Structure formats: structure tokens, C-alpha cells
Amino acid sequence: ATYYLEPSRTFSEFLLIPNLTTKDCTPANVNLKTPLVKFNKGEEPPISLNIPFSSAVMQAVSDHGMAIALARCGGISFIYGSQSIEEEALMVRKVKSYKAGFVISRSNLTPEHTLSDVLDLKEQTGHSTVAITEDGTANGKLLGIVTGRDYRKSRDPLNRPIHQFMTPFEKLIYGKSGITLSEANNLIWDHKLNCLPITDDEQRLEYLVFRKDYDEHKENPLELLDENKSYIVGAGINTKDYKERVPALVEAGVDVLVIDSSDGYSEWQRETVEYVKANFDVKIGAGNVVDREGFRYLVESGADFVKVGIGGGSICITREQKGIGRGQASALMEVVEARDQYFKETGTYIPICSDGGIVHDYHITLALAMGADFVMLGRYFARFDESPTRKLKVGNNFVKEYWGEGSNRARNWQRYDTGGKSKLLFEEGVDSYVPYAGSLQENLDKTIGKIKSTMCNCGSLSIDELKHKARITLVSATSLVEGGAHDVILKESSLSEE
Ligand code: MZP
């Protein structure tokens, strides 16, 4: 045997040492844009993310709902592959056909239609925002707007006609009637309103225009309504049925594939990557690996990015069951070194995804500082409204369900297959709960705020700068104790935050 006598390390064993923070180094100036797939020196990556986040290829995490919510924030979801080819392709299609806005005409929808009618229409067309105008064009007189999340929340249990549902709004802000959709959008945007009541000439409310959706986008709403931009989406595949699955996903419009496997250093993966590269013009990531040899093998097979991590996932018991794996930080550091070496030799940059084992937000910053281009998170996203699992009350707490792909519940045997019988022989994952945490947007904003703030501490305005400048120190078990609140008696309220 070959021995690696240095212990393998996890993120919690490291801290960042601050660098000089210059005055221009403020969170507002930090850019988190990062490459998703390989590119050559001096060229732009064909696909980039605006934030270095991807959601895990898991039943309990990444369906079309999660994919739309995360893409809207600048990240990417990989739709889970442990479902039928048709169902997975349909989820991809739903994300790709999802439009930020949709205008329908009065002749299609009268005030006698109910909110459910509009909801059905919205679902059928896959649009997040339905704007109702008199003549059905963006310049037609606006009759009302129903936006995605607001709308779902406000689904009227009494099924009243639309005009009854839009009850008078007490504080009238604008006494303007008959304005066009474009004008209304401008008003909403200029005045940063949560809700714009539009009244008739006698200051009676005619309809409300919601702003929340626009707020989330932080983009000009004019660009969002009626345009044809589609969100970016990824999808998981396996090394068994790829000859049927990949064509269906490509046909559905998938942007990038990833081979989902607990151990990616295999000839199965090489064959799969080679097949995809030879037959389709679609990007494909491979993994997971934990060392330089695995990285090199997948890259030489043609992989567009490589995923790192075995056994570190919160629901994973692979290390206990099979005794394979490596501390996530050690695995990442070695693969990054191999990536940088490969770049030096060939001029081709291979993005690396650190997958699993992120517990605290600062672990993400550490992963980026250590050279990851983006992270993949399961537990983190499973806690939000947008994950596809049930929200339950256990004791006094709300929780969401979260189960591993290697659990009996998911039965994703393809992910663990090393040849042999087509079934899951033993479990490598658990079925669990995670604390419910609210909406994705709110939580992501907070996490991103922390990452940007830490990057400023480290004097870095971009992920690339952070990688080069970061100074990282190992911490001893005793200094870990020093890092938390210690030697004080905590008050109840200060215990609640993570
Ligand atoms: P985490 O973010 O919950 O710590 O880890 C998520 C990652 O765990 C996934 O992206 C995947 O690589 C891995 N995973 C998914 N299912 C299992 C399992 O059942 C697993 N063992 O290890």
C-alpha cells in the first residue's frame, strides 16, 4: 500500500488571516462571477455563474422550482437524475421555458375569471409574471399584474373574481389611471415600491402592481417582462442509461450535464464523457474525485469541470460503510494543485466544484480561497421553501425532509454502482430532517453578505484575487474552542443563531 500519513483535513480546521483592506475594497465592489466550464487562457468561459453556488443533484434538493429560484439569483441547480428520463427532461423543459413575464390580453381574461384561472394559465405557460393589459401588448393599458411568488402566496381560497380580490389599498400613492405597463414598471422601479396602486381619475383603486418579484431580480423590470431570456439549468446523469438520457435532456434544452457518482475515478465515467463529447454540443462535468490522479483522468477524458468530494456530505455514511473518502479540505487542495499544474501545461483552465460538507457559511469562503470555483450544497438548500420536500413540525420546530441519494428512500443505485447487480445492496446515505430556514433569497443574501465581507477582510474583490492572496492557517483543536463563545454564560436569545 501507499501511505498518506498526513491526516486529511476538513474546512473547520482552517481559518483565513486578514490581508490589508484598501478603501475601495467594500462588499459592494466585490464580484462573485465565476467560471462553470473549462476555457482556454485569454478566452472568456463559455458559461459563467454570477454567484459560486450550485445545488446538489438530489431528489430532496434540485427540482425545477429550486432551479428557477437559484438561477434567478445567479447560481445553478443540477436537476436530480434518480427519476425517469421523461420526468427529468420535463423538469429541465420547465426551467428553460420559464419566462420572467407574460402579457395577456383582456379578451383572454375578463374580470370574471378567478385567480385560479390566472394561476392555471401561469402554470401552463411557465411564466412567473402575468401582466394583464387591455390589448395584450406591453404598451397596452395595464389592467393588473400577478407575480410569481406573491401570487402563489396570495392564492385566493374563496376563488373570487380578480376584481374582488384586488381590494382597495388604503394608502394611495399614485392617482394615475390608464398608464401603460411600461410606464407602471418605470414607476415601480424608480420609486422602489413594494406595491403600486393604480387608481382611476377619482382616486379609486383600479388595480395593484406588485414589486416583490422585481426586487428579487434586482434588474430592470422592463427587461424582464414579455423578453425571451431563459434561465440556465444543469442535470445529473449516470453511467448506465446515458445513451437514452442525454439525448432527452439535450432536446429539453439543458445547458450543462454532470455525471452524478460517489466515486468518479472510473472507466464508466470516461466512456460517458467521451460519448457525450462525440455526439452532442453540451457541456459535461464529472466526478467525484479526491486526488490528482482522479482529476487528471477525468480531464483527459474531456470533462468540462470536475467535482471534488467523497464522504463529506451531511447525509453521507460512505466513509463508515465502505471506508473510502478523504477530508474535504485536503481533497480540494490536492485537486486544485493538479488543476493549476494542468493549466500551466496546457493553457486550459478546468473549474473545480467543491461538493458536500459545507456546514458554516465561512466554509464556502474557505473553499473558494483554497481554489474551488464554485461549491455544491445539499443540506444548505434543502432547508428552504424552494426545496421539493415536505415542511413538517417536529416538537416545536419546523423542519424539512432531507435524504441522501444512497439512502433506501432515494434508491439511486446507479450513483454507487461499481458493476454487478442493478440495485442498492446497502445504504450509503441517511434519511433526515434539517431545520426549516425560510426563503432561498433571504438566506442566500445573508450568506453572500458574509462571503463578500470576508473577502474584503482578505483584501480581495474577486474570487480569483482571493485564491491568489488568501493566507490560510491550520487551527488546533484547542483554538477551535477559542473561536466560539466561551467562558461566558449564554443568554437564551443568543443561542438561536447558527
Ligand atoms: P451536503 O451539502 O448535504 O453536506 O452534501 C451534499 C452532497 O452529498 C451531494 O452533492 C452529494 O455529492 C453527496 N451525497 C448525496 N447523497 C449522498 C448519500 O446518500 C451523498 N450518501 O453523499
DSSP symbols for 206-256: EEEEE-HHHHHHTS-HHHHSS-------EEEE-SSSHHHHHHHHHHHT-SE
Residues with CB under 6 A from ligand 1: 56, 58, 309, 313-316, 318, 355-358, 376-380, 404-407, 428-429
Ligand 1 centre to CA of 303 (Å) is: 21
Ligand 1 pocket check: which of 54, 263, 316 to mutate, most ligand atoms within 8 Å of Cβ? 316
Ligand 1 centre to CA of 37 (Å) is: 21
Ligand 1 centre to CA of 377 (Å) is: 8
Mean pLDDT, residues 194-218 taken together: 49
pLDDT of 218 > 70? The answer is no
Q: Which atom of ligand 1 is nearest to the CA of 56?
A: 10
Catalytic residue among 245, 270, 379, 415: 415
Residue 262 is assigned to a ligand binding site: yes
Instruction: Report the distance separating Cα 373 and Cα 351, nearest Å.
Output: 6
- Annotated catalytic, 415? yes
Mean pLDDT, residues 120-148 taken together: 59
User: Which domains occur in the chain, in start order?
Assistant: 11-97+231-480 (3.20.20.70), 102-224 (no CATH)
Residue scoring higher pLDDT (416 or 163): 416
pLDDT of 118 > 70? The answer is no
Q: Please give the pLDDT value at position 495.
A: 52
Grid coordinates given for 313:
456530505
pLDDT tens-digit readout, 416-472: 888 777 778 889 999 999 999 998 988 999 999 999 999 999 999 999 999 999 999
Least confident of 122-131, 145-154, 401-410, 443-452: 145-154
Residue type, 238: N
**Average pLDDT of the chain, as a whole number:** 84
Mean pLDDT, residues 308-321 taken together: 95
Ligand 1 pocket check: which of 355, 412, 414 to mutate, most ligand atoms within 8 Å of Cβ? 355
Strands 352-355 and 48-49: unpaired
Q: What DSSP letter does each residue of 60-97 carry, written as one string?
A: TT-SHHHHHHHHHHT-EEEE--SS-HHHHHHHHHHHHH
Q: How many CB atoms lie within 10 A of CB 247?
A: 14
Q: How many CB atoms lie within 10 A of CB 101?
A: 24
Pseudo-torsion of CA 97, 102, 106, 107, nearest 10°? Answer: -20
Q: Please give the pLDDT value at position 444.
A: 94
Residue 195 is assigned to a ligand binding site: no
pLDDT of 225 > 80? The answer is no
- Annotated catalytic, 353? no
Instruction: Report the distance separating Cα 379 and Cα 43, nearest Å.
Output: 35
